Structure 1
Amino acid sequence: MRIILLRHGQSLGNVDELAYCRVPDHALPLTPRGEQEAADAGPRIKALVGGRPVAVYVSPYVRTRATLRGLDLGEQAERVVAEPRLREQDWGNLQDPVQQEVLKHQRHAFGHFFFRLPNGESGADVDDRLAAFLVDLETRMARDGHPATALVVSHGLTIRLLCRRLFGWSIELFESLSNLETCEHRVLTHDGTRWHLDRPFTQWRDSPDGDTQT
């Protein structure tokens, strides 16, 4: 079994933080650069899939669905499931720019995993919904007729937390990792006993508890 994790292409929110004040997070579109990143990622993802069918699970946000369309997988995508549990961490509704900046500083000081946004989620909340998604996904992949490869098109923090849950990484290690770049991917392979990550995430510091990605 394999899971390909792909972050969406560059979105309006990646280049203009004030966009979150006028456009709901779920509705933020890709930029022209993001559209090109998705098109460029298409051949890489197709090469990984190798001409075989793939089951696609995509966050229902506009930017992730647009990224999936840009990949142009065609008939290789045997099934496409819009999966709300793969959405980005919820920061609430339209955001106030002053409060947004204050919350970012508070979150950084408190820790990204446990800090709960007043009108949204904590990282722990996202972790919980991803745990349920992974149980469902592994059950589906074990069934006859499900493609051996699943493609998950999601968001930076969501992908990090999915791996944290799957590999049992510590919270300290999770908070030491950087998000994937836009349209960057990772491949998870199951050898019949455990999952393996094709290459580590970038770390901006060593984990304070000494935990590693291996």
Structure 2
Amino acid sequence: MVRHGQSAANFDQSIYNRIPDYRIPLTEQGLAEAAAAGEQIRRRLDGQKVCVYVSPYLRAYQTLEALKLGDLVERTMEEPRLREQDWANFQNPAEIADQKELRNAYGHFFYRFREGESGSDVYDRVSSFMETLYRHWSKPDYAPNTLLVTHGLTMRLFCMRWFHWSVEYFESLNNPGNAEVRALVGSGGSYLLDTPFEQWTTAEPGTTVLDSL
């Protein structure tokens, strides 16, 4: 999994009120970050083929292009279920900032943005995508590797679903940085996350709401 590189909105959030979120491009720094991530991914693939699922957002497509995976890519599929959390249509940065404060108080998983989604909504669509992924993996001619080009929250929620993390543990985790890569490594149905997500507070994967009382 790789998060997109720095976007224009990561640099200037006022862009949200004049450009739709899905059309926000990468910055020059974001393109450089994605190129560096591409070097890391190519080393990990070591010449093996990969099947790519990419969010339909412009910044995800630009990240994929900057990875320069070339003929290592067996197939690329646009996957809307890997998109960013929906916050609103054209966004008012001041209103979104107010809602982010409310989300911090309420909890990132359950708080639903007005005209948008909650983390739990994203979790549901990621779960649906995983069912598709399992069907694809069952095909005998499927590539030996899979790459998801997506967004920070979506990456965390994919891992939450995969590893059966609790909501409280999810809440303790930070998003990966721009163009950061995370890999599920292993075989035979048993996988580990190669690099843990940073935590802003202490919690274990099985921590529940009862432990926070």
TM-score range, shorter chain: over 0.9
2:14 matched residue in structure 1:
18
Code of the residue aligned with 2:58 in structure 1: it is: V
Root-mean-square deviation (CA, aligned residues, Å) is 1.5
- Candidates 109, 112, 136, aligned match of 2:108: 112
Higher mean alpha-carbon deviation, 49-58 vs 188-197, is at 188-197
CA distance in 2, matches of 1:142, 1:196: 20
Cα offsets for 1:117-145 (capped at 9, x unmatched):
11010100000000011111122112200
CA distance in 1, matches of 2:204, 2:176: 21
When the two structures are aligned, how many residues end up with a matched partner?
A: 208
Instruction: Please tell me whether the aligned partners of residues 166 and 206 of structure 2 are also in contact (alpha carbons under 8 angstroms).
Output: no
CA distance in 1, matches of 2:33, 2:26: 10
TM-score, normalised by the number of residues in structure 2: 0.93
2:51 matched residue in structure 1:
55
How is 1:165-176 mapped onto 2 (pairs within 5 angstroms)?
Answer: 165-176=161-172
- Candidates 145, 164, 167, aligned match of 2:160: 164
Report how far residue 209 of structure 1 moved.
8.2
3-state DSSP class of the match of 1:80? strand
Instruction: Please tell me whether the aligned partners of residues 165 and 205 of structure 2 are also in contact (alpha carbons under 8 angstroms).
Output: no
Do residues 89 (structure 1) and 114 (structure 2) align? no
CA distance in 1, matches of 2:204, 2:97: 26
**Residue ranges of structure 2 left out of the alignment (5+ in a row):** 209-213
- Candidates 182, 188, 202, aligned match of 1:186: 182
2:193 matched residue in structure 1:
197
Higher mean alpha-carbon deviation, 172-181 vs 192-201, is at 192-201
3-state DSSP class of the match of 2:161? helix
CA distance in 2, matches of 1:98, 1:8: 24
CA distance in 2, matches of 1:153, 1:91: 20
Distance 1:142 1:208, change over 3 A: closer
How is 1:70-85 mapped onto 2 (pairs within 5 angstroms)?
Answer: 70-85=66-81
TM-score, normalised by the number of residues in structure 1: 0.93
CA distance in 2, matches of 1:146, 1:171: 33
1:31 matched residue in structure 2:
27
Instruction: Please tell me whether the aligned partners of residues 52 and 75 of structure 2 are also in contact (alpha carbons under 8 angstroms).
Output: yes
**Residue ranges of structure 1 left out of the alignment (5+ in a row):** none
The percentage of aligned residue pairs carrying the same residue is 47
Code of the residue aligned with 1:99 in structure 2: it is: E
